[in-house]
């Protein structure tokens, strides 16, 4: 059970299920209204409940404790005041760290998406270029075929004209000799 991540616990008074992701260390049962403290920690980042006291969340890797700047006592990451000396713990500092991390994650995700889009566009470009080259090669073959047919036709016409001229010249010579 130590390695499992819990999302629900039973109320110690009425045994109704309580979703710990919606609470911090201070829990109120919606069924009977009982209030109690969790013995473990709920991660402020991913809201995973850890039955045992831990320094780092096994689900997302976020710290579950913060050190008091005055007395150096380890407190739960969601505590507003130090359990030992009562000094106010700056919750905004923790939120900024989570927000900075999420901005960095978003930026990394955006960079990964941009790389994927560039790769997909490059592949599409290469595919379009190959299609265009195949079309151009087919066009060049058709052009060469038509040119060869035209040259053959021109030779046949030239041979026909030459034959007519030869026949005409022979007929003229035959008339002149007669």
Please give the pLDDT value at position 40: 67
Residue 40, in any domain of the structure: yes
What is the pLDDT at residue 5?
46
Residue 48: C-alpha distances to residues 31, 59, 95 (Å): 22, 7, 17
C-alpha angle 91/95/96, rounded to 5°? 115
Q: What percent of the chain has pLDDT over 70?
A: 78
Helix (H, G, I), strand (E, B), or coil: what is residue 28?
Answer: strand
Least confident segment among 13-27, 28-42, 115-129: 13-27
Judged against a pLDDT cut of 70, whether residue 76 lies above it is answered with yes
Q: Is the pLDDT of residue 4 over 50?
A: no
| pLDDT at residue number 65 | 79
pLDDT at position 99, please? 63
Query: Would 77 be classed as within a structural domain?
Result: no
Whether 6 is covered by a domain: the verdict is: yes
Strands 8-10 and 17-19: antiparallel
pLDDT at 11 exceeding the cut of 90: no
**Based on the structure, what is the number of domains in the chain?**
1
Q: In angstroms, rounded to a whole number, what is the distance separating the alpha carbons of residues 154 and 103?
A: 74
Q: Can you give the pLDDT at residue 55? A: 75
- Look at residue 1 in the predicted model and tell me its pLDDT: 34
Domain housing 36: 1-65
In a domain, 89, yes or no: no
- Asked if 13 and 29 touch (Cβ cutoff 8 Å), the reply is yes
pLDDT band at 3 (very low <50, low <70, confident <90, very high): very low
Residue with the larger pLDDT of the pair 122 and 109:
122
Structural domain contains residue 3: yes
Domain-embedded: residue 38: yes
> Per-residue confidence at 121, pLDDT binned at 50, 70, 90?
very high
pLDDT at site 128 = 96
Sequence-distant (≥ 6) Cβ neighbours of residue 81 within 8 angstroms: 87, 88, 89
Mean pLDDT of the chain: 81
Q: Would residue 130 count as lying in a domain? A: no
Q: Residue 74 falls within a domain, yes or no?
A: no
């Amino acid at each position: 059970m130590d390695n499992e991540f819990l999302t629900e616990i039973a109320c110690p008074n009425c045994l109704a299920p309580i979703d710990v992701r919606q609470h911090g260390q201070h829990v109120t049962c919606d069924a009977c209204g009982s209030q109690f403290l969790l013995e473990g920690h709920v991660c402020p980042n991913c809201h995973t409940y850890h039955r045992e006291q831990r320094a780092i969340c096994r689900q997302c890797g976020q710290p579950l404790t913060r050190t008091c700047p005055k007395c150096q006592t380890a407190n739960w990451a969601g505590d507003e005041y130090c359990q030992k000396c009562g000094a106010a713990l700056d919750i905004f500092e923790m939120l900024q760290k989570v927000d900075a991390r999420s901005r960095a994650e978003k930026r990394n995700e955006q960079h990964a998406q941009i790389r994927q889009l560039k790769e997909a566009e490059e592949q599409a470009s290469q595919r379009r270029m190959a299609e265009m080259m195949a079309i151009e090669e087919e066009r060049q073959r058709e052009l060469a075929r038509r040119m060869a047919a035209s040259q053959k036709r021109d030779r046949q016409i030239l041979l026909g004209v030459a034959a007519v001229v030869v026949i005409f010249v022979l007929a003229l010579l035959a008339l002149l000799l007669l």
